[in-house]
Structure 1
Amino acid sequence: MAIEKWLAITSVALFAMFAGEMISIYSYVVDPPENAMLDDSWFDSKIFQFISIGVAPAGILAAVPFFMTKQYGSKPIGGLIVAGGVILLVGMFVCYTLLDQINDVYLTDIVTNTPVLFMGLSPIVIAVGIYLTKQKKKRPKKEFF
């Protein structure tokens, strides 16, 4: 496999990891254990940590194969980038549905706006992947002389 495909696979894995982390942290705050000592800054700092570990590298790793293959297109790489965008969209939608169940103490701007922000980012990732799948390979010019 070419390096572009491995980068796209890693991007999908990081998108899935970020969605899983966000769902788990939102689910944890919906029903925290009785002995948990939580404050609102803990929740915000974990979200920033998950963004820097998961979705920021995933976005970069989705952009690199795009730029490497945009001249000739690639259906498998485009499909992987679309899959990463769909995973991100579904994961952030699940987090958004959990917002109603979270205690008001933990609801800050970061907590409420992060799922919306990344739900807005995921159609861009999906569009980039679709662009790669629709791109046709350019035929080399034949030199007769």
Structure 2
Amino acid sequence: MAIEKWLAVTSVALFAMFAGEMISVYNFMINVPEDFDFATSFSADPKIIQFVSIGVAPAGILAAVAFIMSKKYGSRQIGGLIIAGGIILLLGMSICYTLIDDIKEIYLSDSVKFIPVLFMALSFVVIGIGTYLAKNTKKRPKKEFF
């Protein structure tokens, strides 16, 4: 496989990791244990910033680099992988958005409310870029050896 395919695969994995991390922290805010001593001092904002910086930001960069490397000739495989990453991000953020209503009021902040919406919008951009790449496939020019 070429390097751009591996970059696209890694971006899909990072999109999936980010969605899983966000779902887990939202689920934690819903089901906080009663014996949790720091229940009032817990804030999801630093965790969300951490998850964005280790998950979705590198995933977006890797998807963009894979797109840039293969946009000249197009690639159905790389486009499909980028689309899959966008769909995973969309599904994960929509699950997080449905969990917002069940989160206890003490844990709600602006980032908890708006991060899923922001990344749902970003997922449509990622899906669009992947669709553009998958649709615009051109034949590679033949190399003339003699």
TM-score computed with the length of structure 1 as normaliser: 0.93
Count, aligned residues: 143
5 Å-filtered alignment, 1:65-144, equals: 65-138=66-139, 140=141
Partner of 1:100: helix, strand, or coil?
A: helix
- CA RMSD, 1 decimal: 1.7
Counterpart code for 1:42: S
Counterpart CA distance in 1 for 2:32 and 2:42 is: 15
| Contact 2:73–2:140 under 8 Å retained in 1 | no
Q: Which moved more, 1:101-110 or 1:12-21?
A: 101-110
1:16 partnered with 2:11 = no
Quote how far apart the aligned CAs of 1:39 are. Answer: 3.9
Counterpart code for 1:4: E
5 Å-filtered alignment, 1:29-44, equals: 29-36=29-36, 37-39=38-40, 42-44=43-45
Match for residue 2 of structure 1? 2
| Contact 1:85–1:122 under 8 Å retained in 2 | yes
| Contact 1:40–1:106 under 8 Å retained in 2 | no
- CA offsets per residue over residues 71-98 of structure 1, 9 Å max, x none? 1000000000000000000000000000
Q: What percentage of residue pairs aligned between the two structures are identical?
A: 65
Counterpart CA distance in 2 for 1:142 and 1:47 is: 49
Counterpart code for 2:84: A
Counterpart code for 2:132: Y
Counterpart CA distance in 2 for 1:25 and 1:69 is: 35
Q: Which runs of 4+ in 1 moved over 6 A?
A: none
Structure 2 residue runs of 5 or longer lacking an equivalent are none
The 3 A distance-change label for structure 1 pair 89 and 106 is: same
Match for residue 60 of structure 2? 59
Quote how far apart the aligned CAs of 1:138 are. Answer: 4.8
Quote how far apart the aligned CAs of 1:134 are. Answer: 0.5
Counterpart CA distance in 2 for 1:93 and 1:9 is: 22
Counterpart code for 1:18: F
Counterpart CA distance in 2 for 1:135 and 1:6 is: 20
Structure 1 residue runs of 5 or longer lacking an equivalent are none
| Contact 1:40–1:105 under 8 Å retained in 2 | no
Quote how far apart the aligned CAs of 1:141 are. Answer: 8.7
